[in-house]
Amino acid sequence: MSELRVPPHNLEAEQSMLGAILLDREILINLAVSVQPQHFYKEAHRHIFDCMIHLYMQNHPVDLVTVSNRLSQQGKLADCGGLSYLTSLLDATPVISHAPVYAKIVHDKYILRQLIAAGSEISASAFAATGEPTSLLDNAEQRIFRLAQMQESRDFVPLVSILHEVYAQLNASKLPGGNINGVPSGYYQLDRLTHGFQKGDLIILAARPSVGKTALSLNFAVHAAVKAKIPVAFFSLEMPKEQLTLRMLCAESVVRTESVRNGTLGDRDWDKIAQGIHDLSEAKIFIDDTPSLSVMEMRSKARRLKMEQNIGLIVVDYLQLLRYPQRSENRQQEVAEITRTLKALARELEVPLISLAQLSRAAEQRSDKRPNLADLRESGEIEQAADLVMFLYREDYQNQQSPTADGAGPIEVILGKHRNGPVGQVSLVFRKDYGRFENAAMHDE
């Protein structure tokens, strides 16, 4: 017969922590940041600690008399061992100043017990085999991710250590007429409508092929990472990471991509590329170019990157290329499930998630070729789940006009849906030869 295994715990640490609080009420305020009543292994200790917190919050003394009186009023004193047990806690405290160490032991043992419980549930689910393996794996990762978040500890930070980061974010979020409270796009008119890309929002950037949606999404990512110092995850299902990086570099350096490809760079171009490499090398942009990536795999990678790098923005290029693990003959249903998963991921990680999407050909059959919500391909769920839907419209592309000498042309960013703000349109300039979008005001000056 196998030996019965006792869950991890340390009663001495629990007793020493409680005894320290009885001896010095003021240390409770620091310990309560990391320890909660449910973290204690012994039920009596949970009741005692909960009682201490209640007394402290009511601005009452926390000592042997008040705690025993409160427990007696609740009818829990006997269950907690009576006055004699409370008295023994005083003797169980070696050094009051070591209370934070005792608290950490209590918290760590709780995490271990939760890890065992999660492992048991994961194992039971796997043995039962009642769902798809990918779904079971996703649920398992969610459990572990929540435990990892519980381990995060934030404390006071000296002002001087964060001033540069705050200044960078303020500088990136400057707007004529006011600042923004989300991830800045880098485009004044757009940020004025959205106040930046908001945490938990699913943002759809849709257009027909070759209009510029990948280029604009790269501009968004670079501005967030370089100017606002926000770590970015970029999932590229269509383009390899080397090609993606080249496009970012040309846009940031303002160098023609064709000059790079055919080897006709001048001395001035090399200087600009060197500066672009310097700027991008300091940016936290993480690229995954796995082809045929499933939405569950993407979710797993994003969770891990959130824990490791605290990403503040996710970009997916593009939605219709993501796979859903449970194959269906109904592609619309698959796209609907993928869209809901992306929205859930944005909320779970508390980051804006920008997903590119293809449009149907319907707009090309109309006299007014500006896209609208009905043109989203394969699923009405995209419109339903999205918090913000943006369309790109280039009149020169739709009307097959010849580009200007430098490949620059006006482009409209149409806000077709904005759950928490106004809809409208924004005028930008797309310098296609550079893969670079610019504020229209720069070209009006």
CATH code at position 84: 1.10.860.10
Dist CA 83 CA 41 (whole Å): 20
Q: What is the pLDDT of residue 445?
A: 46
Q: Is residue 173, in this structure, part of any structural domain at all?
A: no
Amino acid at 181: N
Pair 309, 395 in one domain:
yes
Rg over CA atoms, the chain: 28
CA atoms within 13 A on the CB side of 302: 30
Any idea what the CATH number is for the domain that residue 352 is in? Answer: 3.40.50.300
Domain encompassing residue 358:
179-444
- At residue 220, does pLDDT exceed 70? yes
Q: What is the pLDDT of residue 161?
A: 57
Pair 283, 337 in one domain:
yes
Mean pLDDT of the chain: 82
Are the beta carbons of 196 and 290 closer than 8 angstroms? no
Pair 192, 292 in one domain:
yes
Pair 12, 96 in one domain:
yes
Q: Is residue 297, in this structure, part of any structural domain at all?
A: yes
Average pLDDT, integer, range 138-164: 65
Phi-psi region of 217 (alpha: psi -120 to 50; beta: other; left: phi over 0): alpha
Dist CA 280 CA 282 (whole Å): 5
Q: Is residue 256, in this structure, part of any structural domain at all?
A: yes
- At residue 362, does pLDDT exceed 80? no
pLDDT in tens, 293-324: 878 778 878 888 888 888 999 999 888 888 87
Question: What separation, in Å, do the N-terminal and C-terminal C-alpha atoms of the chain show?
Answer: 84
Q: What is the pLDDT of residue 381?
A: 75
pLDDT in tens, 209-219: 888 889 999 99
Backbone angles phi, psi at 239, to 5 degrees: -125, 135
Pair 294, 202 in one domain:
yes
pLDDT in tens, 41-67: 999 999 999 899 888 877 889 999 999
Pair 187, 228 in one domain:
yes
Environment class of 246 (CB within 10 Å of its CB; exposed 0-12, middle 13-18, buried 19+): middle
- At residue 225, does pLDDT exceed 50? yes
Q: Are strands 388-393 and 313-317 parallel, antiparallel or unpaired?
A: unpaired
Pair 238, 129 in one domain:
no
Pair 183, 117 in one domain:
no
Q: What is the pLDDT of residue 35?
A: 86
Q: What is the pLDDT of residue 364?
A: 67
Q: How many distinct structural domains can be found in the chain? A: 2
Closest among 365, 393, 360, 400 to 376, alpha carbons compared: 360
Q: Is residue 167, in this structure, part of any structural domain at all?
A: no
pLDDT above 70 covers a percentage of the chain that reads 84
Q: Is residue 163, in this structure, part of any structural domain at all?
A: no
Pair 373, 233 in one domain:
yes
Are the beta carbons of 337 and 379 closer than 8 angstroms? no
Q: Is residue 144, in this structure, part of any structural domain at all?
A: yes
Q: What is the pLDDT of residue 443?
A: 53
| Confidence category of residue 1, pLDDT binned at 50, 70, 90 | very low
Pair 289, 183 in one domain:
yes
Q: Is 238 a catalytic residue?
A: yes
Q: Is residue 174, in this structure, part of any structural domain at all?
A: no
Pair 266, 359 in one domain:
yes
Are the beta carbons of 230 and 173 closer than 8 angstroms? no
Average pLDDT, integer, range 121-131: 79
- At residue 165, does pLDDT exceed 70? no
Marked catalytic residue, from 121, 152, 238, 445: 238
Q: Is residue 399, in this structure, part of any structural domain at all?
A: yes
pLDDT in tens, 166-209: 665 566 555 554 567 889 988 888 888 888 899 999 999 988 88
Pair 207, 107 in one domain:
no
